[in-house]
Amino acid sequence: MSDCAVSGIAITIALVSLGVSVIVAFRDRGTITAAARYLESYQHMSDGVYVHIVNSGRRPVTIRRLLITTEDGKEIERRIGENGNPVRLLESEDCEFQLNTQNSELQEWSSSVIKKAVVEDSRGKQYEVSGLVEAINQNAEHLRQAL
């Protein structure tokens, strides 16, 4: 076998290896899936919106905050976690929190039309929270009455 053929085979193997590494790194990255739903009050609970966040990737993800953007461009932030510490989610791990009348920011949101809702991780990457915009906008009257 000539030196040129061996070099060609080595380059081909290196390129295939690089391609597989890129695919595995892309597949293994941390990613978040977030959804929200409105629940009416029952017994001693108040009306609220429940937000459920899941790490649907293979790498740990640290989530810092929920960002709400109103129709007039105002951005409202809610830190996620306890005592100012962000929440670290491992593979398939989840967290859930409620937005209700005890949350002061919900009082601001219920008087505005919400345009966008995202969860932000520690790298600044934002993930849309499906259902949150609709849950707040469609039930704002009920949320305000609970105040």
- Cα distance between residue 37 and residue 48, in whole Å: 9
Percentage with pLDDT > 70 across the chain: 84
Find, among 115, 105, 118, the residue nearest to 35 by Cα. Answer: 118
CB 114 within 8 A of CB 67: no
- Confidence grade of residue 23 (pLDDT, cut at 50, 70, 90): confident
Instruction: Say yes or no to pLDDT of 1 above 70.
Output: no
Helix residue ranges, H only, the chain: 3-28, 104-110, 132-145
- Confidence grade of residue 141 (pLDDT, cut at 50, 70, 90): confident
Structure-block tokens of residue 127: 């993930």
Instruction: Say yes or no to pLDDT of 112 above 80.
Output: no
Residue 92 DSSP symbol: T
- Cα distance between residue 129 and residue 72, in whole Å: 20
